[in-house]
Amino acid sequence: MKYKINEIFESLQGEGTFTGKPSIFVRLQECPVGCAWCDTKHTWEVSLEDEIKKPQFDLKKEESTKWCSFTSAQLLNLFSERGYKAKHIVITGGEPCMYDLTDLCHAFEAQGYGCQVETSGTFEIKVSKDCWVTLSPKINMKGGYQVLSSSYQLASEIKYPVARQSHVDDLQQIIHDNGLEHKKVYLQPISMKPAATALAIKSCIENNWMLSVQLHKYLDIE
């Protein structure tokens, strides 16, 4: 199977449980969810005119809509070519769960990597049993997609973006309706704005949740 890849890079995970962990990020192309605050809108559309070959992909240094097809074996070869040392792989997007990621996770895990997928939960999550699932449930977004009940149950952690009190109220309702009181819950201030950060801190303390502050943005790293 081939996967449409927008970019691959090595950095530190800046969010959730694995904050600070050296990671290889594999960003897949395409997402129809339509989050207004999305910081990777260049991954939303798939145009055949934007497909590039590996030599061009290797030279890609800036965000763009360009993408390249890779098999799992080709991805592993690329990690080796680039000399990546991290053993944790973050599969992100875009919306990565538009793909069946089971075989990809197995291929990575067979080579000693741990896998994490970051998803909106609006498509069926198909990953290996050991894959860490970071669910950032997106409700009432422009695309009109609904978060699947199965996504809530598969989540290893819930990472919820907040900017105003209604977002906190929505999350409380989600947790209650889906019996998620036992899940790890992180609040993430949208766009790192001071008011959103203050609200997130207050809400974390009141609800015994945790704070995710997008460490990579504060450090100005990829």
Q: Is 100 annotated as a binding residue?
A: no
Pull the structure tokens for residue 55: 């030599």
Pull the structure tokens for residue 214: 């997008």
Q: Which of 48, 145, 162 is nearest to 97 (CA)?
A: 145
Q: Is 37 annotated as a binding residue?
A: yes
Q: Is 114 annotated as a binding residue?
A: no
Neighbouring C-beta atoms of residue 181, cutoff 10 Å: 9
Q: Is 72 within 8 Å of 104 (Cβ atoms)?
A: yes
Q: Is 169 annotated as a binding residue?
A: no
Q: Is 64 annotated as a binding residue?
A: no
Cα-based angle 136, 71, 38 (whole degrees, multiple of 5)? 25
Q: Is 170 annotated as a binding residue?
A: no
Q: Is 65 annotated as a binding residue?
A: no
Q: Is 94 annotated as a binding residue?
A: yes
Calpha distance 47→107 (Å, rounded): 27
Q: Is 166 annotated as a binding residue?
A: no
Q: Is 119 annotated as a binding residue?
A: no
Q: Is 137 annotated as a binding residue?
A: yes
Binding site per annotation, positions for substrate: 12-14, 27, 92
Binding site per annotation, positions: 12-14, 27, 31, 35, 37-40, 92, 94, 136-138
Binding site per annotation, positions for Mg(2+): 40
Binding site per annotation, positions for S-adenosyl-L-methionine: 37-39, 94, 136-138
Binding site per annotation, positions for [4Fe-4S] cluster: 31, 35, 38
